[in-house]
Structure formats: C-alpha cells, structure tokens
Amino acid sequence: MNYNLTDKQKDLLRWIVDQIRSGRLEEEFHITFTNRGAIVYEWRHEDQPGPEITLPMLEALCAEKCLRCTQQHTQQRIGSRSATVECSLTGIGYQAIDSDFNEPDTTVLRQLTPLSDISLLDERLKERCLPVLATGANDPRNWDTAVRNASVVLEERLRFVGGITDPHIVSKQLANAVFGQTGSKAGSFNVDSEREGYRDLYAGVMGAFRNRFAHRWNDPTPEDGGAIMIFINLLLKMLDDLP
C-alpha cells in the first residue's frame, strides 16, 4: 500500500503509535484545537512538548485509514475558538508504522549510481575526466574523451603499481609484466588462480577499452560511458589496495 502522506504527517502517526505502545496514550483519545494550539487529552506526559498537530494532518491520516476521527463539537467565544476531535488508531495505522510506510530502502541507489557522488572517484580520474564532462555531460563525444582519458589513467596506474618503466610494454604485455607468473606483483597473491584472474582482468580491459578508445571514435552514450568510468574507478582502487 502506498501512503499519500507528508513527512510531518508520518511523524505524527509515528508519535501516536509510540505513545500508545508505551502506555502513555490510549488507542482512543481526544484532541482539542484552540487558538493556542492542540491539546491531547488522555496523554500522560503533558509536561513534555507534544508534536505539531493540525486538523488537516488528522484529516490526511483519516483519508489513509490510519486513524478514525470524529469532530465532536466546536465552541466559539469572544476572541477564541475551539474544536474537539475524537480519534482512534486503526490496524492500518499500526501496519503503516511497522512497515515504515512500505517505503523501500533507497540507500542502495547511492551504491548503484556512484557517479552521483564524485567524492568516490579516484583523484586522477577527477582531474582528467570531470573537466571534459563539465562542458556537456550529455554529449557522447565528451564521454569518448573522458573514457579515453580514464583508460590512460588506468594504464599509468598499472605501470606505477607494477614498477614498469619500459614504455614499449603495453596492453596484454603490461598486464603480464605486472600479474604474470614472474610479474612484479606476483608476490602479492597467495593463490595462483587469483593472480591469473587479475592478469586476465586487466589484460581484457586494456584490449576492450584502452586500445579501442585509443585508435578510433566510439562516442558512447552517457550511460555506457559512466559505467565504464565507474568500472575503471574500481580497477584503480583494486590496484591501490594491493600489498
């Protein structure tokens, strides 16, 4: 069930359920609205400040069947006006709180869309790629340049981590020089199959991205370009994490 409630209305329902469950409020209670604010009868902690309560907020909770409300009477005197509403919490009200209003946990979206937080990007990627994208992130040509720059950053990092100074060692040869059986980082692995996995992974990326983007125009979509950049960002971190 989707609840058409604002954050304030949800907070009010949370407060009501919490007070009832803690024994400080009955499931059936009265609220009187005066010029000075709302007074909750049957509440056993009147010395503490209560939540913001308005008639429209109660009406919204009733519309979603979280509360049943009946306006008992309205009194008017010179300079003052009061209205009393009889309220009772419903089973749907409890369910709404226990399910957190059926709201999915959206924190995973941050992990699935890391480009939305550029603080997660490698500093070298920020330096080489973001200025290009700042001129137009919807232009595939800019993503072509950004991915090309990112692949160069990866190649440079692989050379640095592996201590490879020969500029003629490139692509698959570079991956072998670092992660081959006698490679410069072979000692970082206790399991030979893991070392081979790193070698195949970086050799494949060099062939699929570095070489392809270095020799011809590709103009990837922003979605594809972003995915490649995030993948390269992960590969950079994996290199930095090697012992």
Query: What is the pLDDT at residue 45?
Result: 73
Residue 48 has pLDDT above 60, yes or no: yes
Are 123 and 213 contained in the same domain?
yes
CA distance 87 to 72: 10
Are 40 and 76 contained in the same domain?
yes
Residue 108 has pLDDT above 70, yes or no: no
pLDDT tens-digit readout, 154-201: 999 999 999 999 999 998 999 999 999 999 999 999 999 999 999 999
pTM: 0.58
In contact, 125 and 229? CB cutoff 8 Å: yes
Q: Determine the 3-state secondary structure of 127 from DSSP.
A: helix
Order of strands, edge to edge, in the sheet holding 80-89?
37-40, 28-34, 80-89, 67-77
Q: Which has the higher per-residue pLDDT, 126 or 72?
A: 126
Are 193 and 211 contained in the same domain?
yes
- Contacts of residue 1, defined as CB under 8 A and 6 or more positions apart, other chains included, come to 92, 95, 96, 102
Q: How confident is the model at residue 34 (pLDDT cuts 50, 70, 90)?
A: confident
Query: What is the pLDDT at residue 78?
Result: 45
Are 78 and 160 contained in the same domain?
no
Domain presence at residue 1: no
What residue numbers bound the domain in which 79 lies? Answer: 7-102
Domain presence at residue 2: no
Average pLDDT over residues 214-231: 93
Query: What is the pLDDT at residue 81?
Result: 61
Q: Which of 53, 84, 102 is the last residue of a domain?
A: 102
- Contacts of residue 232, defined as CB under 8 A and 6 or more positions apart, other chains included, come to 125, 147, 150, 151, 153, 154, 205, 209
Are 137 and 197 contained in the same domain?
yes
Query: What is the pLDDT at residue 39?
Result: 86
pLDDT tens-digit readout, 127-152: 999 999 999 989 999 999 999 999 99
Average pLDDT over residues 71-75: 65
Are 236 and 126 contained in the same domain?
yes
Are 163 and 120 contained in the same domain?
yes
Domain presence at residue 154: yes
Integer-rounded Cα radius of gyration of the chain:
31
Are 226 and 121 contained in the same domain?
yes
Average pLDDT over residues 48-61: 88
Are 154 and 236 contained in the same domain?
yes
Q: Which of 67, 102, 137 is the last residue of a domain?
A: 102
Query: What is the pLDDT at residue 80?
Result: 53
Q: Which of 60, 76, 102 is the last residue of a domain?
A: 102
The domain tally of the chain equals 2
For residue 119 the two structure tokens come to 């603080």
Burial category of 54 from C-beta neighbours within 10 Å (exposed 0-12, middle 13-18, buried 19 and up): middle
**Mean of pLDDT over the chain:** 89
Domain presence at residue 152: yes
Q: Of 31, 30, 24, which is closest to residue 48 (Cα–Cα)?
A: 24
In contact, 121 and 233? CB cutoff 8 Å: yes
For residue 7 the two structure tokens come to 């954050």
Reported for 49-58, long-range contacts at CB under 8 A and 24+ positions apart, including other chains, are 50/15, 51/11, 51/12, 51/15, 52/8, 52/12, 53/12, 55/83, 55/85, 57/8, 57/9, 57/12, 58/31, 58/85, 58/87
Q: How confident is the model at residue 226 (pLDDT cuts 50, 70, 90)?
A: very high
Are 127 and 235 contained in the same domain?
yes
Report the percent of the chain where pLDDT is more than 90. Answer: 68
Query: What is the pLDDT at residue 73?
Result: 61
Domain presence at residue 193: yes
Are 18 and 96 contained in the same domain?
yes
Are 140 and 171 contained in the same domain?
yes
